[in-house]
Structure 1
Amino acid sequence: MGSSCSQCNCEKRNYERDVQSFQIEECITIPTCQSNLDKTQIVKHKMATIIQKYWRGYLIRRTFKQETYTQQSFTKTVVSSILCKSLLLSGAVYTGQWRGNSRDGYGIQVWPDGAQYKGEWKQNKANGNGTFIHANGDVYEGEWENDMANGYGIYQHIEGPKYEGNWLNDKQHGFGIECWPDGSFYEGDYYNSYKQGKGKYVWNTGQIYTGDWVQNQISGYGCMIWPDGRKYQGEFHNGTMHGRGLYTWPDGQTKNMVMVCMIGEMEENLKVNGNLENNMGRDVQA
């Protein structure tokens, strides 16, 4: 826990509506909070970031036991309801409860740049429920264990993106919901900060994918539904339709397909008289 944060990255994917040109865009644009509002910045949401561990105060926290305290600090040898204010060598100010020479109980610590943690402490570490407010305005509120986000917590980015769900050792792990300012969202499984397992992604256009994810990529078996009523249900690989699947048109017509795609391009299939055929000559798409 400290005074700065590695930037949260936000990763979104846009899919071409034409099934023959199905591809992924790796990032999204989010308006900046600067004065020039017509500019945008690309924020890649890889979500493999560790939101507390690499803050500037992490090394300070690890060497806390080596710090020397004022005489006033040493005189507080028992835990009480009295909140004691102490200036640390790092320049941070801690106001809260102590047990001997350790921060223990409820306390608020403020760093010189304005970042602050307020919540529960145990043996000089954030343990229990607490809120960390970054110097840039980002906020994490939730459960802590051994100075790391563990359990349930909410991370609110100042520019709008928000994650709400489970954490393990400062990483998104378990079930969570991730929302963007434009109304799109993901809800599903996370593993080691990656979207991985079963999940649902809804674009602000109304396009929906439900199915398997591997390391932030749509991979495995799933279903993609377009706003115009088209639907593909089948196999995906690295964000593209790849393998066997069933394609349904808005009028209800269906076609079994074998998709072999690479970055959205049809590969090892030949288009003959308006139909796609595989290299065995079998019709795979109308």
Structure 2
Amino acid sequence: MALTEKQELYISRYREEVRENLKGHLTAPLLEQALSHLRLSILEEILKHAGQQPAEDLQVLQALKELGSPAERAQVLIRLYRAQMSAPESSQRYAAPAARQVPAEQKEAAAAKKEADAEKVVWLGVCLHIARTASLPAWLIRCAAVILGLFGAPLMLIVYMGAFFFFRFQGVLETKEQVHLFRCAGHLFITAFLIILFYCAGKYGLEGIAWAHQYFLKQPLPDLAEWGWLASQQQALLFWALFLLLPPALLSALPVPSGWALSLKRAAQAGVTLYAVLIAFGLASSIAGILLQFYSEFTG
């Protein structure tokens, strides 16, 4: 039975939820048997709805619905396979679960998709989709993405999110979680606003230092050399802060798993905090340079 990538994604998610409910109840071999049995049961249910015609998305979803929730289906499989855990070895040898009675054609389809179905979406499913399209292991694509990310993390995050929106627009990455555009805009706005706010604080702080020097000492602010590094590096710091921190801020607003979303959000917050510390340190450095120069002139 030929299924589309979107339909395979529906089935894969359902099986993964069932797997989570089976953990701790079945041994590892029986767990894999139960998941294979589940896969074939799903195909049988789809055949009832689609017949010999290509299955439609709604038919696949209806088939999954009729199998019950993942928790309910897990209980059925636990009752079916738990008896084998306590049965003698001889009886297990001749036991024939329902999965063995499924037509050979469906068994071949299950075996062909077993590896792909075992994969999980880590972030947004982009690497998993590319791996399936290229018929490559998902771990290989993810390793390549990580290696590229080490050399250009912000740029790779931008490319990754661009690929997500492109694939999602095509419908191959449709997920249960909705993309909240207002949340995305809010994360970007708050992060950018804080960075620009600290930039303005540094800029006007330097202007305030120059004004105070002119007002109290009756002379323009001298060249502070290395102590006045903030004045020359402020725009570069602003660019890098925006370039490095906006991508993780946006990614944290997308439907990534909650643990990753929290980590990305904290990374963006930590980056904004570090930027504020750099601005404060630059202002303090300028003041220290003025004091040292004044001390040098005073002592001759």
Q: What TM-score results when the alignment is normalised by the length of structure 2?
A: 0.24
Structure number with the higher strand fraction is 1
Structure of greater Rg: 2
Higher RCO (CA-CA < 8 Å; seq separation 6+) = 2
Q: What TM-score results when the alignment is normalised by the length of structure 1?
A: 0.25
